[in-house]
Amino acid sequence: MHSRPPSAPRYVVVAGLLRDAIIAGRHPLGSSLPSERQLMEAHGIARGTARHAISLLVEEGTAAVRRGAQAVVIAAPPPPEQTLSELLSFSAWARSLGCEPSGRVIALSRRTATPDDTAALALGADEPVWDLTRVRMLDGRAVMIERSTYPHRIGQIVAALDLERVSITSALLDHDIHLARARHTIDARPASADDASLLGVEEGAPLLRVRRLATSPLGEPLERGEDRYLGDAVAFSVDNVARQASTRRTADRS
């Protein structure tokens, strides 16, 4: 059974119950999950809570949903440790730990794509892109700087959100945009002067850097980004299994 913090929000609890049902075989691969209305009636929850529970399963890669249809099981739930899919959603990862995620917007702007942008995001020359820089927090503690670049059609949606409270990954699902996969490159970098100021550390302090390119289920590039984490706030572990590697992220509670 997937463990859930005693104080977990209701949608996290419902998502966990759905995972347990999938593991038990009550919702096999390819089958439909209960509809939002069925979840509302079964658990006495609001529609938004039901939708958020399903969104968690979509974000982690267990389910997929298309406009006007129920969510379908596409993979077994990940183990209870934090998995690679949660690198796509800071909010989902934080809540899975029983923490309250939040963010502070440092900069949001539109500009013309550089050659690196056009190559990574499959854009035409001189197309517009949006840059977003946020400081992400766990229970009010700044632990990560998130720097993202979006194609214009994604960026204009992101720009309209309450970026200090809303999960971008979940909000994009409402527009039928699914950040389904990502390629990550993880290394260590010293904190720049800007990094140090935003995270409250000394310049040169070691940070974990995660560079990523997120794509749709069909492989369309949707976001390129670079996140920098406090070294004492997060750790990554890799399990290698014949021909397959999965990455997990865990919070350092010390």
Q: List, run by run, the mean pLDDT of 10-residue segments along the chain (254 residues).
A: 56 88 89 94 93 89 83 78 54 74 92 94 94 91 94 96 86 87 88 96 93 88 94 65 52 52
- My answer on whether 168 and 247 are in the same domain is yes
- My answer on whether 135 and 16 are in the same domain is no
- My answer on whether 121 and 63 are in the same domain is no
pLDDT of residue 27: 93
Q: Is residue 1 part of a domain?
A: no
- My answer on whether 207 and 108 are in the same domain is yes
- My answer on whether 28 and 98 are in the same domain is no
- My answer on whether 170 and 105 are in the same domain is yes
- My answer on whether 87 and 58 are in the same domain is no
pLDDT of residue 103: 86
Answer with the one of 32, 56, 73 that is the final residue of a domain: 73
Q: Is residue 5 part of a domain?
A: no
Q: Is residue 59 part of a domain?
A: yes
Other CB atoms within 10 A of residue 63 CB: 25
Q: Considering its fold, how many domains does the chain have in total?
A: 2
Give the domain CATH number at 178: 3.40.1410.10
Give the domain CATH number at 18: 1.10.10.10
The beta-carbon contacts of 9-12 under 8 Å, at least 24 apart in sequence, are 9/95, 10/43, 10/45, 10/49, 11/45, 11/49, 11/50, 11/52, 11/53, 11/56, 12/53, 12/56, 12/95, 12/96
Structural domain boundaries, residue 139: 82-251
Q: Is residue 3 part of a domain?
A: no
pLDDT of residue 101: 82
pLDDT of residue 199: 95
Claim: this prediction has a pTM higher than 0.85:
no
pLDDT of residue 231: 79
- My answer on whether 21 and 88 are in the same domain is no
- My answer on whether 27 and 147 are in the same domain is no
